[in-house]
Amino acid sequence: MVGGKKMRQPTSRPVMGGKAGMGGKSLPASVAAKLSSHGGKLQPPTGGVKKKRRYRPGTVALKEIRKYQKTTELLIRKLPFQRLVREIANDMAAGSWFAQGVRFQSSAVVALQEAAGSYLIHLYEDTNMEAIHAKRVTIQAKDIQLARRIRGERA
């Protein structure tokens, strides 16, 4: 201690920072090795992936809600839904007299798809109301079970 003040001990590592391009400092060994192997020119890293932007939790969900409330398009993809309908129909037809399979008009599949989408939307609306009633913002399985029970779909 000198005059009531503590003296700083010198550190073994060099001071980094300051303004770039001020010269006078030598390069770290790893950078110097790269420069010498590439003829003195530092190459930019190849295959560098730009970091994807992260939104705060809930922002994307609200954006999607606004998007889907504006549109009238079908929310369930057509081909996966069509495969599901055909699979269920073939399973039901397996034990009956029309075992060759069932054929559907395309408008019938679209009508089923519209009805299924509408059912799911209303179920999720009821589920969300029950989560809010329970002073939560996250829906849970018990909310869906309660919504179905109130509707009389499940005992």
pLDDT per position as a tens digit, 38-80 = 565 656 666 778 888 899 988 998 899 899 889 999 999 999 9
Residue 119 lies in a domain: yes
Residue 117: is it exposed, middle or buried by C-beta count within 10 angstroms (0-12/13-18/19+)?
middle
Q: Is 140 within a domain?
A: yes
pLDDT category, 94, cuts 50, 70, 90? confident
Say if 29 falls within a structural domain. Answer: no
- Higher-confidence position of 48 and 81: 81
Residue 87 in domain: yes
Name the band, by pLDDT with cuts 50, 70 and 90, for residue 134: very high
Bridge partners for 2 per DSSP: 5
The Cα 150–Cα 130 span in angstroms is: 11
CA pair distance 155, 145, nearest whole angstrom: 10
Q: In this structure, what token pair is assigned to residue 63?
A: 């954006």
Residue 33 amino acid letter:
A
pLDDT the model gives residue 63: 93
| Cα torsion angle, 23, 29, 31, 33, sign | positive
Q: What is the pLDDT of residue 65?
A: 87
Tell me whether residue 12 is in a domain: no
Distance of alpha carbon 64 from alpha carbon 55, whole angstroms: 13
| Predicted local confidence at residue 3, as pLDDT | 63
Residue holding tokens 């010269």?
A: 23
Q: For residue 76, what is the domain's CATH number?
A: 1.10.20.10
Instruction: Identify whether 31 is part of a domain.
Output: no
Tokens representing residue 16 in the block: 């980094």
Count of domains in the chain? 1
- Residue 100 placed within a domain: yes
Which span out of 14-23, 82-91, 109-118 was modeled with the highest average pLDDT? 109-118
The domain of 98 spans 59-151
Asked if 89 contacts 102 with a C-beta cutoff of 8 angstroms, the reply is yes
Whether 19 is in a domain gets the answer no
